[in-house]
Amino acid sequence: MATHTIVTIVGSLRKESFSLKVANALAKLAPASLKLDVTTLHDISFFNQDLEANPPADWLAFREKLQKSNGVLFVTPEYNRSIPGVLKNAIDVGSRPYGKSSFLGKPTGIVSNSPGALGGVSAAKHLQNILPGISGPILGQPEIYLNGIGDAFNEKGELVKEAVQKVLQQYINAFAAFIEQQNR
Ligand SMILES: Cc1cc2nc3c(=O)[nH]c(=O)nc-3n(C[C@H](O)[C@H](O)[C@H](O)COP(=O)(O)O)c2cc1C
């Protein structure tokens, strides 16, 4: 079975980010058919359409990474009932030039999380609004909105909450099957 590379985009820049920890946990739980390339957004400069004629190297590198991948997985927190600005910026960068989105055709997954009760569901729903015009098919089932993520990891960043491990395993197995089917 071929190994499929999945650009796994973390929607938080925070050093101790739960989203980053969730992405790393998913990378560990992924079956052998998936390689999750956990990607943070520290190096992606602000999108500015004026620069499109001669795009900065960081935009080109991000776009190339997406183009070479077999799929994209977003792992994001919720900021003010939406996605964080850094994530929207990266999506804008990857979506251009017009008609040549680097997300185009890439099978896509969305994982939201929050220490709060609602699991970042609004952020996930906003991604579902943003992506269809510029991405590939989005995995609809199972949905995953991880609430109460604040006590899921120990001080080493290891996943210690069994219920979270179980849903992450279910999700990544379903996502692997989806990627397999879409890359056939
Ligand atoms: C600017 C800002 C807005 C936030 N808005 C929400 C929100 O709308 N819903 C929510 O569940 N948590 C919200 N939070 C709390 C985040 O879920 C929490 O800070 C989380 O740890 C951020 O994700 P990270 O751990 O991956 O950095 C907000 C946090 C910040 C800094």
How confident is the model at residue 1, as a pLDDT?
67
How confident is the model at residue 184, as a pLDDT?
87
**Residue keyed to tokens 């729903």:** 125
Spatial distance between the Cα atoms of 36 and 29, rounded to a whole number of angstroms: 10
Q: Is the CB of 150 under 6 A from ligand 1?
A: no
Mutational test site, ligand 1, from 78, 81, 87, max ligand atoms within 8 Å of CB: 78
CATH 3.40.50.360 fits 4-182, yes or no: yes
pLDDT (tens place) for every residue of the chain, 184 residues total:
679 999 999 999 999 999 999 999 999 999 999 999 999 999 999 999 999 999 999 999 999 999 999 999 999 999 999 999 999 999 999 999 999 999 999 999 999 999 999 999 999 999 999 999 999 999 999 999 999 999 999 999 999 999 999 999 999 999 999 999 999 8
Spatial distance between the Cα atoms of 181 and 60, rounded to a whole number of angstroms: 28
Please tell me whether residue 11 adopts helix, strand or coil conformation.
Answer: coil
CB count within 10 Å of CB 158 equals: 12
Q: Indicate the domain borders of the chain.
A: 4-182
Residue 136 C-alpha to ligand 1 middle, in angstroms? Answer: 27
How confident is the model at residue 2, as a pLDDT?
78
How confident is the model at residue 154, as a pLDDT?
97
Q: Whose C-alpha lies nearest to ligand 1, atom 4?
A: 79
Q: Is the CB of 120 under 6 A from ligand 1?
A: yes
